[in-house]
Structure 1
């Protein structure tokens, strides 16, 4: 890899470590069962139609299922869910085993319990973006009635708002 590419890759990582981001878990129904991962790239894209997006690495264990899925779930985590965020970020973890609380939701998408809010979206695009894909989905179901303060990711670790 050329030195300038290493420098710009390092610069990107360094800058985004300073960017506080909300923490979400993305889920989908896979051929062999539910899949999911922790994401800090969740973004509202459009109000009309109601679209959201997230990025997923093509080398991620969840990518094969998400590359084929028609629907995905996104779950906004609360500050009390640091361990859940860590579980879904951990490679090789059985993410849906206890103590993870989940159920089959709309369109067969795994829906996590106790989250601040969740959406199920119909995937409308998977856009190549380097070693990732930007997945765009249209909202079809959800619940925004959860309570609590958001979980944040900053400087490589999870944080509570204001602390």
Structure 2
């Protein structure tokens, strides 16, 4: 049985669009760089993804008006930091704080390319900008990977249905229950 439905794309309500897509969990990634004076800049994205293995490429989407994106374009490089489940406060600060204050009280080390690698994260990917593509009201930034590393085995921070949480696999929960670890700390 074949259904032929033609939806009027213009009829899609923006609020409904956000509400439905909020049911797709996304990673919470801090994209960082430094400016010409080596001051740190950063923003939060939920669109970080692998693009290619050969050559090694990754990407993320950024709003056209992002001041951090302007700094990334000027620097020609960025680092994607996978935030850990206990870094919601840092995520909120990097997402909504005044640009000049986003790194106050935040500790970081310079990556091989000179980008901020935030302390306490799960992993990082250090890139140079390969290409920037205009797509709708955003820009797709494609980066060529120069270095990457897993920093910890912490669970990652996720965004789902308008809120933050972390990932804990069902298998890990089951194993914890079987060995009695889920009773510890109660």
TM-score by length of 2: 0.78
Task: State how far apart, in whole Å, the 2-side matches of 1:85 and 1:22 are.
Answer: 11
Q: Which residue of 2 aligns with 1:29?
A: 34
Task: State how far apart, in whole Å, the 1-side matches of 2:160 and 2:96 are.
Answer: 17
| 1:14 paired to 2:19 | yes
Where relative contact order (Cα < 8 A, 6+ residues apart) is larger, the structure is: 1
Shift of the alpha carbon at 1:5? Answer: 4.4
Aligned positions of 1:1-163 closer than 5 A: 5=10, 7-31=12-36, 33-92=39-98, 94-98=101-105, 100-162=106-168
Task: State how far apart, in whole Å, the 2-side matches of 1:19 and 1:95 are.
Answer: 27
Task: State how far apart, in whole Å, the 1-side matches of 2:19 and 2:54 are.
Answer: 34
Task: State how far apart, in whole Å, the 1-side matches of 2:15 and 2:98 are.
Answer: 26
Whether the 8 Å contact between 2:62 and 2:140 is mirrored in structure 1 is yes
Task: State how far apart, in whole Å, the 2-side matches of 1:117 and 1:153 are.
Answer: 17
Shift of the alpha carbon at 1:141? Answer: 1.1
Task: State how far apart, in whole Å, the 2-side matches of 1:6 and 1:60 are.
Answer: 28
Larger-gyration structure (1/2): 2
Task: State how far apart, in whole Å, the 2-side matches of 1:6 and 1:119 are.
Answer: 39
Q: Deviations over 1:101-131 (max 9, x none)?
A: 1122212211111110001011100000122
Q: Which structure shows the higher strand fraction?
A: 1
Shift of the alpha carbon at 1:12? Answer: 2.6
Q: Deviations over 1:3-59 (max 9, x none)?
A: x74734333312211111111100011235221011110011111111110011111
Change (3 A) 1:80 1:7: same
Task: State how far apart, in whole Å, the 1-side matches of 2:11 and 2:68 are.
Answer: 27
Higher mean alpha-carbon deviation, 7-16 vs 85-94, is at 7-16
- How many pairs are equivalent? 159
Higher mean alpha-carbon deviation, 119-128 vs 143-152, is at 143-152
Task: State how far apart, in whole Å, the 1-side matches of 2:66 and 2:46 are.
Answer: 15
Task: State how far apart, in whole Å, the 2-side matches of 1:145 and 1:7 are.
Answer: 41
In structure 1, list runs of 5 or more residues that go unmatched.
Answer: none
Task: State how far apart, in whole Å, the 1-side matches of 2:11 and 2:65 are.
Answer: 20
